[in-house]
Structure 1
Amino acid sequence: MKHQELRYGKQNNKTSIHYLMAVLFLVSCLLTLKASAQKPASKSMNALDSTMVRQLFFSALHEKTIDNTKLATEMFERILQTDPANDASLYELANLRKRQNNYAGAQPLLEKAVSISPDNEWYWVALADSYEKSNSINKLENVFNQLIRINPDKPDYYFDKANAYLLLKRYDDALKVYNQLEQLTGPSDDILASRQKIYLKQGKIDQAAAELEKAIADNPDQIRYYLLLSEIYNSNGLNDKALKVLQQAEKLNSNSGMVHLALADIYRDKKDKDASFNQLILAFSNPDISIDQKIRIIAGYFPKFPEPNAKASALELSRILTVTHPADAKAYAIYGDMLLQNVKNKEARQAYKKSIELNEQVYAVHEQLVRIELSENDMDATIKDGENALSLFPNQGWMNYMVSVAWAQKKDFKKALTYVKNATSLEIQDKDLLSLSFSLMGDCYHDLKDNKSSDEAYDKALSYNPDNAFTLNNYAYYLSLRNEALDKAAQMSARSNELQPNTASFEDTYAWVLFKQKKYTEARVWMEKALAHDKDNSSAKYEHYGDILFYLGNTDDAVQNWKKAKDHGNQSPVLERKINEKKYIE
């Protein structure tokens, strides 16, 4: 990363062609009125024609000022039919064509205007703009020669002329113009930077460096010259020379953040990672370096993730941001991101909260916070912060979905449906979100005993993602509970196990569907897989296993598993009857 760039464009002491044209637009009406008043009538016109032209000109200017371009154009064209040498009308008509981006059409009008009135500066400026916009760069030399003739003390025209030479790759001619300009204005950073650009294009590294060394000798306390010189050395593989220059600058001003950033680049290129990082720490501790530039540097570590050193470095630099820029929400947002990358969720939550406190208008930070809260099963916080985010950003599909999940977890299925319906109505492109939302909708309708709506929602979810394993599993299980569409349920459950093998809850579902299909031997195989993979000692799985064993004729083993289900928390009356009566009961 190069932190110090040569700025070759014209800066504060120069006015570009475009700026001149903006000024020109504001004063053109006054100038053209004056030009028209002073211009004598053509010899071929009588007094009546001359009066008519003046009246028509004023009318055309009026139509132009009220943006009636079509009528204004017609009037100026009528004037030129009567008075072809009316340079003010040529100029105004050319400007109207330029408004319509018809620069090719404006050029001949302006060329004729300057031939009639060669000392009119504004005509030449307009012609220069027209040539530039139509990429007629080779014609600019004469235009700027004329502008310099008319106004020799205006630096802008010299810069423009040199830039034209630069575009034409006439580098030596451009250097001559900068020499003329320096005689006019004295040395300046703009001239220095412009020359640097040319020297580098010519491959004259020594000459470019020599000019900067002279600038340093003349202004030894100006850090920017050291930075520019080190940039030239470093970009041309002369790292040792660049380092020496920057070390001189560091001695001169140890608090310069830009020097520390440049040193970080040099040390990185020299493979001295520790020295480079130490310089970054010094730079990040400097509030004069913009936070946006620092965030871009942190982002440079992202491609190296999940390398531990890269994650740790980015985390430390982002922490320093919060110290150096304590009132900037962006500092805490990036710190939260890096904490999350380092699996420090609790600290990340606090960083995101602080960022929102400083600036609540960044949606992405709200979403990061709520995602963490949801992942940690903090449903109350998810609802609180999620609904706060929706009060600011009501049209965010994912936020509506996450709040819906939280309400569903709290068993308020009607409220959950309100939010998840919002999610599906707001987002029509994100298939992942739509699949998850319709799947959640199916869960909610199931718990509300609306089986028809539940099935429709699950089918909709699978239309967006036919391989959503959780949707396949839940849909299959609920169908089996109702003893409906068991073949469909079996296909979906089998697919969910293909997608996520060795998942106890999925294996349990498949075993239960097979049980409902009276395929008891296959059901036993899958239930034993589920028990082997079950880390929670689920009472439901022991009860299901007992049910399967009973139908396989193993009544004693069935009763033992029913008792295990009871020991693991299942206190249902039906289970109690199974144990007492030693038989399966629906």
Structure 2
Amino acid sequence: MFRFRAVVLLALVLLLAPEAWSQAAGVAQPPRRKLTRKERRELKHQKAVTEARQQMRELTEKERELSESYFVEGVKFALLEDYTKALERLLAAYRINPNNAAINYKIAETNLLTGNLKDATNFANTAIQLDGKNAYYYLLLAQIYASQKQFDAAAQVYTTLIKNVPDSGYYLFNLADLYLAQNKLDEALTTLNEAEKQFGALDEVSFKRQQIYLRQNKLDQALKEGESLIAANPDEVRYVLAQAEMYAANNRLPDAIRVANQALQQDPGNAQAHMILADVYRQQNNPVESQRYLKQAFESPGLDIDQKVRILVDFIKQLPNPTLEKNALELAAITTRVHPKEAKAYAVAGDIQALTEHRKEARDNYLQALRFDSSKFQLWQQVVSIDAELGQTDSLLVHTDRALELFPNQAVFWYFNGAAQLLNKNATKGVKALEYGRKLAADNPELQAQFDTQLGDAYHELKDFVKSDAAYEAALAFDANNAQVLNNYSYYLSLRGEKLDKAKAMASKLVKQFPDNDTYLDTYAWVLYKQKDYAGARTQLEKALRTTKDGTVTEHYGDVLYQLGDIVGAHAQWQQAKRQGGASKLIDRKIKDRKLYE
């Protein structure tokens, strides 16, 4: 009995102190190196875990219930994203039961969510040490390392997971992705090949391997892998399309056409195949075939609206261009027909039509877009701008009223509304809209000058000449070459017979800038007429009459001839003015009495 105890005691000594025994036996020991701070910290942590295990004791029923209660509350607060309270409860559970792997795991996860990566790492490591068979613990630790860009450490965690946890080979794919993220392509290939050994031939493995070959510039191997995918999956058109795109991207255009047509044999309406062919023929400088396949792609609802819009926007960037206009308009029309309830389809079609001088059609498409989404400020702005360009006052009033219901603080709509009121012979409402809009444009001097221009016209209509002149002066203070102001201001001064020298200076300046503009020549002539410079007025009007058919200009010429004593000539011009239209209310009396009335 005594000898048995001695043998047991000796075995324990050998087990617990191998280093001391080897030293006693005279075995040479390797020199110890100094541990790094990180190694000392990890060693300290492992020692604490070991001590905790050694001190492990059976919890009482009350302690177990209390620990579980804290844990459940901690999980609840974590779900509510109240991480401060979550950690408070989880740490309370930990103090009672520090050797519970689930508690350590949850504390690690919560620390990760709050950005405390140091504690997250330590608690995740502890969870694994306490339960090395739970895959979720490894996954959390790998995520923690990856978030710190410690990819080698994360890869090692996956390697250990696959080794220690039964039936965890599918995590080889995660490991391969991690290697790919680090551009460790050879390691990724090795890992994928290992996965293929475990699970057999898999499309996912082949596809990823193909991507790796491409990144390694091993095109032939990538293409070979693609052909293998197609052979193994003859009914999967996506692999055929991927192969066609690969050929196209690497300037193997005949092969790209061949494989894309193979895809169309399987799926005749495939939009992606048509897009590949359109791009290949474009690269081959064959615009007819390229457009044919592009139109077929656009005819397919399988090509989503956003992709179509992106293509049309590329056309817009190149417009106006006569060689592209027909194709762009055709594609826009197809888009609105195939996607009749998509606001963006009508909006992009409107943009193309506006750039190709199809303004009425553009406005119709903008209005269609607004039927489906009335919140787009830019579309309303386009609509009212086209109304103004087309001179359709009634439409301009209707559309600005609707736009102002949605955007009451947008000065531009008040501007167009005020202009429409003026054109509609309602100067009072025009002034009200323009004055209100001008206040909204306080931070936009250019827009304020446009308001001043319109206000000058509006106040003139109301015969409030002081405010009219002040508005014109304000507009000229911003832009001394404002053609509309120079013309209207000088003309209205001539009608009033006031400040004729100022009016002459403005009108003269204008015709120097625009020597062939019949309207500006007529204004200058009328200022000279008011100054009784009939010869000078005649010269300017004869220049204007070379291009104009405006009855007002012709009537003015007749008035000048009358002042110069040419009664017959004046009468003939007055008759011509009446035929042309646009003459004054006095034209009939002038013709009847062969006499000038002013």
User: Cα gap change, 1:96/1:114 in structure 2, threshold over 3 Å: closer, same or farther?
Assistant: closer
Preserved CA contact (<8 Å) 1:543 1:562: no
Does 1:385 pair with 2:399? yes
- Please name the residue that 1:408 is paired with: 422
Return the alpha-carbon distance in structure 2 between the equivalents of residues 497 and 151 of structure 1. 91
State the partner residue of 2:318. Answer: 304
In the alignment, is residue 181 of structure 1 matched against residue 190 of structure 2? Answer: no
Alpha carbons of 1:575 and 1:155: their partners in 2 closer, same or farther (altered >3 Å)?
Answer: farther
When structure 1 is superposed on structure 2, of 320-329 and 69-78 the one drifting more is 69-78
User: Structure 1 residues 283 and 76 mapped into 2: Cα distance closer, same or farther (>3 Å)?
Assistant: closer
Q: Which amino acid aligns with 2:517?
A: T
Q: Deviations over 1:120-172 (max 9, x none)?
A: 65554444334433433343222322443465656774333223212322101
Root-mean-square deviation (Å): 4.4
In structure 2, relative to structure 1, the CA distance for the partners of 1:557 and 1:216 (3 Å cut) is same
Moved more, 142-151 or 467-476: 142-151
Alpha-carbon shift at residue 417 of structure 1 (Å): 3.1
Structure-1 separation of matches of 2:506 and 2:144: 69
Pairing partner for 1:108 from 97, 102, 118: 118
Partner of 1:555: 564
Confirm or deny that 1:234 pairs with 2:244. Answer: no
Give the structure 1 partner of residue 309 of structure 2. 295
TM-superposed deviation, 1:229: 0.8
Q: Summarize deviations over 1:530-575 as a string: whole Å, max 9, x none.
A: 3444x1234356437845x78xxx6304884477347524455599
State the match for 1:461 in structure 2.
475
Distance apart, 1:236 and its partner CA? 1.0
Bigger CA drift: 499-508 or 537-546?
537-546
- Is 1:452 aligned with 2:479? no
Counterpart residue identity of residue 521, structure 2 = E
| Aligned ranges 1:165-564 → 2 under 5 Å | 165-184=179-198, 187-427=201-441, 433-484=447-498, 488-513=502-527, 525-533=539-547, 535-539=548-552, 542-543=555-556, 546=559, 555-557=564-566, 560-561=569-570, 564=573
Query: Cα 1:210–1:63, aligned 2, differ >3 Å: closer, same or farther?
Result: closer
How many residue pairs match? The answer is: 537
Give how far 1:313 is off: 0.8
**Structure 2 vs 1, CA of residues 186 and 364 (structure 1 numbering), >3 Å: closer, same or farther?**
farther
CA displacement, residues 475-534 of structure 1 (integer Å, 9 cap, x when unaligned): 33334444555555445444443544421222333344455567776655544433444x
Q: Partner letter of residue 137 of structure 1?
A: F
Amino acid paired to 1:220:
P
- Give the TM-score normalised by structure 2: 0.74
CA contact (8 A) 1:442 1:456 kept: yes
Structure 1 residues 334 and 114 mapped into 2: Cα distance closer, same or farther (>3 Å)?
closer
Structure 2 unaligned blocks of 5 or more:
1-50
Of 122, 125, 132, which aligns to 2:146?
132
Q: Percent identity?
A: 31
Letter in 1 for 2:549: D
Give 1:568's aligned residue. Answer: 577
Matches of 2:101 and 2:88 in 1, distance apart?
A: 16
Matched, 1:159 2:173: yes
SS in 2 for 1:260: helix
Of 335-344 and 165-174, deviating more is 335-344
Which has the greater radius of gyration?
A: 2
CA shift in 2, pair 1:73/1:489, >3 Å: farther
What TM-score does the superposition give when structure 1 sets the normalisation length? 0.76
Whole-Å separation in 2 of the counterparts to 1:562 and 1:199: 91
Q: What runs of 5+ residues in structure 1 fail to find an aligned partner? A: 1-38
Aligned partner (choices 110, 127, 136) of residue 117 of structure 1: 127
> Which residue type is aligned with residue 258 of structure 1?
Q
My pick for the range that moved more, 557-566 or 375-384, is 557-566
Letter of the 2:319 partner, please give it: F
1:511 & 1:503 partners in 2: Cα distance? 12
SS of 1:536's partner is coil
- Give the Cα–Cα distance (whole angstroms) in 2 for the partners of residues 42 and 426 of structure 1: 78
Structure 2 vs 1, CA of residues 566 and 274 (structure 1 numbering), >3 Å: closer, same or farther? closer
